Structure 1
Amino acid sequence: MNALSNLKILDFTTLLPGPFATMQMADMGADVIKISSPSKYDLVLEAEPKINGKSANLLWLNRNKKTLALNLKTKEAVDIVKELVKEYDIIVEQFRPGVMEKLGLGYEELSKINPRLIYCSITGYGQTGPMANKAGHDINFLAKSGVLGFSGRNESGPELYGTQIADIAGGTMNSIIGILAAVNYRHFSGEGQYIDISMMDGALPLNSLPGAGYLAGGELPKREGDLLNGGSNYDFYETKDGRYFAVGSLEPKFWSVLCDTLEIDGKTSTDLSVKDEIKEKFLEKDFDEWVEIFKDKDACVEPVLNLDEVVEDEHIKERGLIVELDVDGEKIKQFASPIAFSKTKQEYKFAGKKIGEDTEEILKSLGYSEDKIKELKDLDVFK
C-alpha cells in the first residue's frame, strides 16, 4: 500500500501545474483518471520530442494515470462524470472560472451528488477579483506578484529563467497541499470542500525574505540590492571556457574557505570590493579544473550543470532521482518523485498514456455495455 492509495481523483487539468500535481499524487498511490477531449490541443502534452508518437511530456505527466476521453460539451459525457463522482471524490480542474459550472460540473452541482467531494480549481488569478478571467502564463504571474520587480540585473532588467516557477511553486505545490489538507479535514469532519488555487497568489509569498522585510516597514527591494539578488558576492561566475559556477558562500565559515581557495582577501560575503577579483579568479581556470578544486571544499560553491551532467551525477544517481520506464519496449528516463518515504515508497507503474486508452475499461466498470459504449461513440461523446 502506498501513502495515498485511498484517494480517487478525477483530473481535468491541462498544461503543467495540474498534471504535475496529480502525477505526484498518482506516484504516491492515488487512483487518478485523466479526463480530456482528444481533439483539444494541449501545448504541453503534445510538444516535441516524441517517443513512438507520444510526447515526452505526456509520458511523464500522465505517468501512473488512467485516461478517459470525454467531450464534456455532450450531456452523455457529463452524466459519466456524475457517475464517477460517486466514487472518485476529489476533482482537480484548470479551466477559467465559470467553465465547469457552464458544463454542469461545478462544485455546487457535484457536491449534491457526493457531499464528501473535494474540488480544487487551479487558475492564474483565482476565482474572484478583477483579473479572475484574464489569461496568463508563468512570466505574467511572476511579474504581477512583484517577484520580477527586484530580480535580474540593473543594466538589463528582469531576466528569463529555464523553468516555470509560479506554475510549479504557486500552482502544483499549493494544490497538493490544499487537497491533502482538505482530505485531513474530511477525515475528522466527513465534509468535502472547494479549494481556490491561484498561481499569482502562490507567487506572492515567493517575494520571500526581501518581501517580508518590506511589508514590515523596510526598504523597497531593488535589483542587485539584496544579499541574494546580486547585492553581495552570492552570484554566478564565468570560467575560462565559458561555463559557470554558483557561489553561495554567505556565512563567515564558507566565505573563509572561498577566500582561501581563491587566494583573495575579502572581509565578508557582502564586501563588493572583491567581486571583480572573484570574477577574474574564476576566469583563470576551466570548468573541469574548478570542479576538481571545489569537489571536497565545504564552501557552498557548485558547478552549473547541464542535464547531461545531471543524469550522470553520482549524487543524483544515489538519491534515485531519475527513473527508467518502458515505452513500447524502449527504456526512457524520467524525473522521479522528490519525496523519500521510509515505508510507503512511490511506484512508477507505467509511463503516461494517450487520452482515451482506458475509456472502455472505465465505462464497463460503471456498468456500460459494449452496445451502449458504441452508441456513445457514434454520438461523439469520446471526441
Structure 2
Amino acid sequence: MPTNTQNPTRGPLAGIKVVEFAGIGPGPFCGMLLADMGAEVTLLERAGGTFASQLFGGGRKAVANRGKKSLCIDLKHPEAKALVFKLIEGADVLIEGFRPGVMERLGFGPDECLARNPRLIYGRMTGWGQTGPLAPRAGHDANYAAIAGVLDTGRRHGGAPWAPPTLVGDMGGGGLMLAWGIACALIETQRSGKGQVIDAAMCEGAAVLAHGLFNLEALGEWKGQCAIDSSAPFYDVYQCADGEWISVCPLEPQFYKTFVERLNLVGDPDFSGKQYDTTTWPAMKDRLTAIFKAQPRAHWTALFDDTDDCVWPVLSMTDAPAHPHNIAREAFADVAGVLQPTPAPRLSRTPGTIQSPPPLLGEHSRERLAALGLSSEEIERLATAGVVSDPVVL
C-alpha cells in the first residue's frame, strides 16, 4: 500500500488558486477535491481551530485539509481585511460555508469580492441555500436529507429511516455538488471572462442524488415491493455464522439464476416461483437468512469469488484497504500516519494526487504572506500584532 502519493504530476486544476474559509464538513471536502486535482488551496483558519478540528482532529489527522496551505488569521482584526482581499484578488475560486449573511458581516460578501476580482467564482455552501424560509436555520446531514425526501428511503423492511452519516447531505449533496458547480463555472469563465456566485444547498443536492428513487416513486414502484429498497431477498445484506455480513445483489435474471444454482436451491419450493413475484419474497428471505447464518463469511466469499452473482463481503473501514482489489488499484494510502482514500476519479493524462499531508494550524502563514509580496519584517510585525499566527499543533 502506498505511504506517500505525492508526485510531480500536475493535475487538471493546476494553476487554479482557491481561497477557502475554514469550516466543517462539505466546505472542506470541496476544497479537498479541488486540491486533489491540483488546485492551490489557501485555507484561512482562526487561532484555536474550529468545531471541525475538535470533532475530526486537527493537523495531520484532518484528512479534508490534505494538499492545502494553512494561513492562520484573525478575520476580525482591522489589518486582516486588506490581506484577505489581496488573496482574493489573485484567486480563481472562493469557498465559504457560513450561514447566509455571515460573510457579508465580515466584509467579504460576494459584492465586495467580485468588485475586486470580477472573474472570481464565489462558492457558497449551506444546508438550506441562501434564500427561502429555512435559510437562516441550523441543521445537519440527516436534517437536509430528511427535508429532501431522501432520508425516508433509508428504511429497511419498514423500519426507522436512516442513512450513512454525513454522506447524503454533507458530502454528496453538499461538497461534491459545490465542486461540480465550481468546475462548471471555471469553464464558463474562460468564455465570458466573468465570475459568478454558486448557491449550493445540501438539501437540494441530496434530492438530486436521489433522482433515480424519485423516478421509481413516479412509477409507483418505490417502498415495500421494490427490488432495491431491501424488500427483495436478492438485494439485501445477511449475517453470517461469525457475525460478519455479506451483501447479496443478483438483480439481473442471469445472475440470479447462477446465484440459486450455487446455493443448491434449484427446485427448492421456496425458490420455484418467479424472481420478481413479491408474494414469495418473505419466505425466500427467511430461507436465505438461515442459509447465510450457517457458515462464516469467508465460506460465502470463497463460494461466490469466481462468479458474477454480485455477492461480496461487507468490509469495515479497517478491512477495506487490505482487500486485494483496493490494493491493486492503490485506492488507499497512508499519509502522515493516517490511512485514507486516494483521489478519485482517475484521469489518464493529468491524474489527481495528494499534494501534501494536511497542514498544521498556521503552518504556511508566513509562506502565504511572502507569496503576496510582504517583506519578512512586515510579516513579523503582523505576527506580533496577532493578525496572523505561526504553526500550532492541536
What is the CA–CA distance in structure 2 between the aligned matches of 1:355 and 1:157, rounded to whole Å? 40
Gaps of 5+ in 2: 1-9, 390-394
1:334 to 336, 340, 352: 340
Which amino acid counterpart does residue 299 of structure 1 have in structure 2? D
Assess, with a 3 A threshold, how the Cα gap between structure 1 residues 54 and 66 changes in structure 2: closer, same or farther. Answer: closer
Q: Does 1:33 align with 2:42?
A: yes
Greater mean alpha carbon deviation, residues 110-119 or residues 358-367: 358-367
**2:214 corresponds to:** 211
Within a 5 Å distance, the mapping from 1:102-113 to structure 2 comes to: 102-113=105-116
What secondary structure sits across from 1:350 in the alignment?
coil
**1:100 corresponds to:** 103
What is the CA–CA distance in structure 1 between the aligned matches of 2:24 and 2:307, rounded to whole Å? 41
Offset of 1:131 from its aligned partner?
0.3
What is the CA–CA distance in structure 2 between the aligned matches of 1:292 and 1:67, rounded to whole Å? 47
Greater mean alpha carbon deviation, residues 360-369 or residues 277-286: 360-369
Offset of 1:370 from its aligned partner?
3.0
Identity of aligned residues (%): 34
The Cα RMSD (Å) is 2.0
Which amino acid counterpart does residue 305 of structure 2 have in structure 1? K
Offset of 1:261 from its aligned partner?
1.2
Q: Does 1:282 align with 2:292?
A: yes
What is the CA–CA distance in structure 2 between the aligned matches of 1:150 and 1:346, rounded to whole Å? 33
Offset of 1:115 from its aligned partner?
0.5
Q: Does 1:14 align with 2:15?
A: no
2:76 to 61, 73, 80: 73
Contact 2:99 2:136 in 1 (8 A): yes
**1:242 corresponds to:** 243
What is the CA–CA distance in structure 2 between the aligned matches of 1:372 and 1:6, rounded to whole Å? 27
What is the CA–CA distance in structure 1 between the aligned matches of 2:344 and 2:383, rounded to whole Å? 40
What secondary structure sits across from 2:199 in the alignment?
strand
Higher relative CO (Cα under 8 Å, sequence separation at least 6) belongs to 2
What is the CA–CA distance in structure 2 between the aligned matches of 1:244 and 1:163, rounded to whole Å? 22
What secondary structure sits across from 1:119 in the alignment?
strand
Offset of 1:160 from its aligned partner?
5.0
Which amino acid counterpart does residue 228 of structure 1 have in structure 2? I
1:308 to 290, 297, 318: 318
Q: Does 1:351 align with 2:357?
A: yes
**1:230 corresponds to:** 230
Assess, with a 3 A threshold, how the Cα gap between structure 1 residues 128 and 293 changes in structure 2: closer, same or farther. Answer: same
Which amino acid counterpart does residue 46 of structure 1 have in structure 2? Q
Which amino acid counterpart does residue 241 of structure 1 have in structure 2? D
What is the CA–CA distance in structure 2 between the aligned matches of 1:190 and 1:137, rounded to whole Å? 36
What is the CA–CA distance in structure 2 between the aligned matches of 1:210 and 1:22, rounded to whole Å? 29
What is the CA–CA distance in structure 2 between the aligned matches of 1:298 and 1:365, rounded to whole Å? 54
Contact 2:32 2:64 in 1 (8 A): yes
What is the CA–CA distance in structure 1 between the aligned matches of 2:162 and 2:182, rounded to whole Å? 33
Q: Deviation digits for residues 152-204 of structure 1, max 9, x if unmatched? A: 23553113535532111111111111001000000111111000000011111
Offset of 1:250 from its aligned partner?
0.7
What is the CA–CA distance in structure 1 between the aligned matches of 2:47 and 2:202, rounded to whole Å? 26
Contact 1:258 1:299 in 2 (8 A): yes
Within a 5 Å distance, the mapping from 1:1-383 to structure 2 comes to: 1-43=10-52, 45-47=53-55, 54=59, 56=61, 58=62, 60-154=63-157, 156-214=159-217, 216=218, 218-219=219-220, 221-222=222-223, 224-233=224-233, 234-264=235-265, 265=268, 266=271, 267-269=274-276, 270=278, 271-272=280-281, 273-325=283-335, 327=336, 331-382=337-388
Contact 1:47 1:55 in 2 (8 A): no
Contact 1:46 1:54 in 2 (8 A): no
